[in-house]
Amino acid sequence: EYSISEDYKVPETPFRRDVSAQSQSTETTTAIVRRVATAPLIIMCDGGSSKFKSRYQHYTPARDYHSNFVGLILRNVQLPSEKYGTVFLAKTGPVLSYRLDPNELRMLVDYNKPTLPDLGQQSKWLIEEVAPGLPAEMRSEFIRAAKDTSRIRSMPVAHYPATFPSIRGYVGLGDHANQRHPLTGGGMTCAFNDVLRLAKSLAVIPRLRGNDVNDMAEIEDRIQKAILQYSQKRFLHCGSINILSWALYAVFQSPPLRDACLDYFMLGGDCVDGPISLLSGMELSSLTLLFHYYRVMIFYLLNTVTCTGAYSCRDEKKPSFSQKCFNAAIFLVNPFRLAGALRILLSATLVFAPLVYYEFVSLWILMDPTGVFPNMARKMKILLYRVLFDGKHRKPVGI
């Protein structure tokens, strides 16, 4: 849909600048022109901010933004480990850094609130709160970049569970289908896996255009079957990456959970290879994710019982074997240590369980989401979100 002058005529050379048209009066009557293009298959890959995301899909909007990333470009600075992305666990939260070219690197600083202050306050926060937690050789350049408020960029982060198309012939790829926390950088991994799974589902259809109405109707039915096969099984390759991104962010936000995770990595071997294979998308099993997640917590519990762990008990001297046995013996009679261990296990479960629910539990995995009843349910859901969560200053994200 677009506006155009009612007496507009297509120029003979449309790609050449028309000088005479600029001298004409701009006070012309315009008319709204609507053109409709049809296709048996519409593939959307226009990102998480797409205006079509909630219009043609079963979409669960976020009540508010989860947090924000504040971005800076640093020049002539070396990363602690070049050729690798780096995560700094600063006092304010995780700080991501990766190289753009030989002279520049990008810093993404987590701001763990749904709304950002003005640029002046952001600059002050970066200098006073974030900079002290960075390596000394990066600090001066970081402060210089933070002082230039015109160069500060930000990106909101929201939690979007998986979507399902509400109309036939429509399918989303990548962030259009659902999003995860950008901390782990799993967006393109999910997008490429989406492409592979959708292509595999569509490969059995020999052609996407028919010669007559009946032939075209049969092709559209086969396309819709392929879309359902893709969207209802998409969680198999995206679920672990999505859950891990939000779980890892929550772990890094909690000092006890963060220390437990770092102690686990210190063991090396499968304690590093397993999580890295999940992060990279090489291992897609959700059971493997569950195994490593609770293995971290059990390992933390053992460290708490024996008062060991390079990070969990960093303020205490390394105990001898006899001291470990003594610490374990008095653990059950020390209510403070027992309560602390149980609190960590409960916190870990409260982080993990909702993520699993949002990722794997959906009615549309079991039935066609494009029918009459599903679309009525979608409209009711959007209406409820607008009535219940439409605050004075902010609407549900994506509606």
Q: What is the pLDDT of residues 61-82, one digit of tens each?
A: 777 788 999 999 999 999 998 8
d(CA 153, CA 108): 9
Residue 148, classed as helix, strand or coil, is coil
Mean pLDDT value of segment 27-44: 74
Long-range contacts of 88-92 (CB under 8 A, 24+ apart): 88/133, 88/134, 88/135, 89/133, 89/252, 89/258, 90/130, 90/133, 90/134, 91/129, 91/130, 91/132, 91/133, 92/125, 92/129, 92/130, 92/133
What pLDDT score does 28 carry? 55
User: Residue 60: phi, psi to the nearest 5?
Assistant: -100, 105
In the structure encoding, which two tokens stand for residue 266, read together? 């210190």
Mean pLDDT computed over every residue of the chain: 86
d(CA 368, CA 379): 16
What pTM was estimated for this model as a whole? Answer: 0.83
- pLDDT 10s digits, 232-281: 999 999 999 999 999 999 888 888 888 888 889 989 999 999 999 999 99
What pLDDT score does 30 carry? 64
- Sequence ranges of the domains in the chain: 2-33, 42-61+161-237+375-389, 67-157, 239-360
What pLDDT score does 393 carry? 47
**Percentage of residues in the chain with pLDDT exceeding 70?**
87
What pLDDT score does 341 carry? 81
Q: Is the pLDDT confidence value at 193 over 90?
A: yes
DSSP state of 393: S
Q: Is the pLDDT confidence value at 101 over 60?
A: yes
Mention every residue, 6+ apart, whose C-beta is less than 8 A from residue 261.
Answer: 248, 251, 252, 296
What pLDDT score does 52 carry? 87
Which segment, 302-306, 315-319, 326-330, 346-350, is predicted with the most confidence on average?
346-350
What pLDDT score does 1 carry? 52
What pLDDT score does 287 carry? 92
What pLDDT score does 309 carry? 74
Mean pLDDT value of segment 315-328: 74
d(CA 105, CA 297): 34
Q: Which residue has the higher pLDDT, 79 or 305?
A: 79
What pLDDT score does 18 carry? 47
**Percentage of residues in the chain with pLDDT exceeding 90?**
49
Q: Is the pLDDT confidence value at 98 over 50?
A: yes
What pLDDT score does 299 carry? 86
**Residue 291 one-letter amino acid:** F
What pLDDT score does 205 carry? 94
- Spacing of C-alpha 282 from chain mean position: 18
Mention every residue, 6+ apart, whose C-beta is less than 8 A from residue 250.
Answer: 257, 351
Structural domain 67-157, CATH architecture: 2-Layer Sandwich (3.30)
- pLDDT 10s digits, 122-150: 999 999 999 999 999 999 999 999 999 99
Question: Tokens 């099984």 map to which residue?
Answer: 233
